[in-house]
Structure formats: C-alpha cells, structure tokens
Amino acid sequence: MPQLLTVRVKRPDGRPIRIWVPVLPVALVFSPVMLLAALAAAVACLIYRVDVMRALGTGWRIVSALPGTRLDIEYDRTAVLVTIR
C-alpha cells in the first residue's frame, strides 16, 4: 500500500509548492466513503454480472502496485509532479 504522496507544483514565477500527504491517515478519515464506494462497486458488479471478489481483488492489486509511480503534467509554464511512495 502506498505510504506517501508527494505533490510538487512549479508555478510560472518559478517558485515551487511542495505538499506531502501521508496516505494512511487520509485513508482512515475517508474510510466510511471508501466503504460506500466498495459497496457501490459490488452492486455494479452484480448488475453487470462480474465476479465481485475478482473485481475487488484486482482493485486491491492496482492500489498495491502504485508505489513508485510518477505522474508529470506540464502545461504552458506550469508543471505538476506527483510521486507515490
């Protein structure tokens, strides 16, 4: 499971903004919402006749594979770098 999300925004004036977000406390705060989302996903799986356990297992594998991911976005003179550790 990812532990830290780092966001760096390079503004047009050259001064960067860095934000470090610990994943576990955020996940604990949003756990009721994530539980409702998992239930909604399970209902959607039943409606579309997809194996619920396989779909939730695949989602967990995707979340577990996130550490080491880098996302770079540049537009005009603004750049955003997101790193998941």
pLDDT of residue 77: 86
Question: Across the strands, what pairs with 74?
Answer: 79
* Neighbouring C-beta atoms of residue 61, cutoff 10 Å: 9
**Sheet containing 78-84: order of strands:** 16-22, 4-10, 78-84, 70-75
What's the pLDDT tens digit per position in 8-51?
999 888 889 999 999 999 999 999 999 999 999 999 999 999 99
* All structural domains of the chain with their residue ranges: 4-84
Number of H helices, E strands in the chain: 3, 4
- pTM, whole model, 2 decimals? 0.72
Contacts with 76 (C-beta within 8 Å, 6 or more apart), sequence order: 12
Per the listing, tokens 């537009």 go with: 75
The whole-number pLDDT of residue 12 equals 87
